[in-house]
């Protein structure tokens, strides 16, 4: 068992796992065996890619109070703020739990966005059931039709052509003026009857190579307009995800999850 060692308020060593889903990278700390106490300043320090570890989000696992769940989860952005949901992070959590117990392939975790169920497959892919979107509301930006999607965390989805030519930083600065608490922004380009391409600006992080909840929010927004059936391939800068809307009204997200290395850092 890994333990956090601390005497007389001296610096302590924290064990972590570096993981990624399509290049969307995470530091996972299993707090069931340690006593890591997150603070905004500490998270900002750890997120620094030059002087810390570097990550798009910190994943913190703790003991769950739910009898049917393996762990509880918390997500933190590099600016120290707490996020409600992360689809790529959920796949990494499932992959990590599977590595701790290889005989088990189905998992349940709970946190701010509720319970999440996942399956780990022999081919390395992971499917997470992220549940139902709370709302999909038509919206506008600069006379273009968009969608506000509440998927456990907030998203603004905007369909565009030639999304590689869009200055996503400028677009983010424009849109967030209407959202004082921040919002995740996705721009979508439809490629075919069953595929689309997106870019994502994550609240508290910036543009990332991939975003699981953003892929789901974008797919559901397009499905609400009958631009896709119940299953679509989502191409992101970091790779491909598959989003499926099942008969129960739940959203399934499938993609890879990779463990890069395990390390420890003194804090």
The DSSP bridge pattern shows strands 71-76 and 82-83 to be: antiparallel
Give phi and psi for 224, each to the nearest 5: -65, -20
CB 232 within 8 A of CB 243: yes
Closest listed residue to residue 243, CA positions, set 84, 128, 91, 111: 128
- Which is the catalytic residue, given 86, 92, 108, 216? 86
Residues 6+ apart with CB under 8 A from 203: 77, 81, 83, 153, 154, 182, 183, 184
Between the alpha carbon of residue 150 and those of residues 33, 135, 212, 245, the distances in Å are 33, 5, 14, 16
Tokens (6 digits) for 228: 């896709």
86 noted as active-site residue? yes
Tokens describing residue 202: 């994550």
Q: CA 118, CA 105: separation in Å to the nearest integer?
A: 8
Q: Is the dihedral of CA 55, 58, 59, 63 positive or negative?
A: positive
Catalytic residue among 69, 92, 108, 211: 211
Q: Which one, of 137, 165, 161, lies nearest residue 151 by Cα?
A: 137
User: Measuring CA to CA, which residue among 214, 221, 237, 57 is closest to residue 130?
Assistant: 214
155-191 burial by CB neighbour count: b if 16+ within 10 A, else e?
Answer: bbbbbbeebeeeebeebbeebbeeeeebbbbbbbbee
Let me know how long the chain is. 267
Catalytic residues: 86, 211
């Amino acid at each position: 068992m890994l333990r956090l060692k601390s005497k007389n308020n001296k610096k302590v060593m924290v064990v972590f796992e570096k993981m990624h889903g399509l290049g969307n990278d995470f530091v996972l700390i299993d707090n069931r065996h340690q006593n890591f106490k997150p603070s905004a300043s500490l998270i900002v320090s750890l997120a620094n890619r030059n002087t810390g570890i570097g990550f798009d989000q910190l994943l913190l696992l703790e003991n769950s109070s739910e009898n049917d769940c393996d762990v509880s989860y918390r997500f933190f952005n590099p600016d120290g703020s707490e996020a409600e949901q992360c689809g790529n992070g959920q796949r990494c959590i499932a992959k990590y739990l599977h590595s701790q117990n290889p005989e088990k392939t189905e998992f349940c975790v709970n946190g701010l966005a509720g319970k999440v169920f996942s399956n780990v497959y022999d081919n390395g892919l992971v499917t997470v059931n992220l549940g139902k979107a709370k709302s999909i509301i038509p919206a506008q930006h600069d006379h273009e039709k968009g969608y506000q999607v509440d998927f456990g965390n907030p998203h603004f989805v905007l369909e565009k052509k030639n999304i590689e030519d869009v200055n996503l930083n400028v677009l983010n600065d424009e849109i967030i003026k209407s959202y004082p608490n921040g919002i995740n922004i996705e721009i979508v380009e439809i490629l075919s009857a069953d595929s689309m391409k997106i870019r994502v600006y994550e609240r508290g992080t910036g543009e990332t190579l991939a975003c699981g909840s953003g892929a789901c929010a974008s797919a559901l927004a397009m499905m609400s307009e009958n631009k896709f059936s119940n299953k679509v391939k989502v191409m992101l800068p970091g790779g491909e995800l598959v989003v499926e809307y099942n008969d129960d009204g739940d959203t399934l997200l499938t993609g890879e999850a990779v463990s890069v290395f395990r390390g420890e850092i003194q804090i």
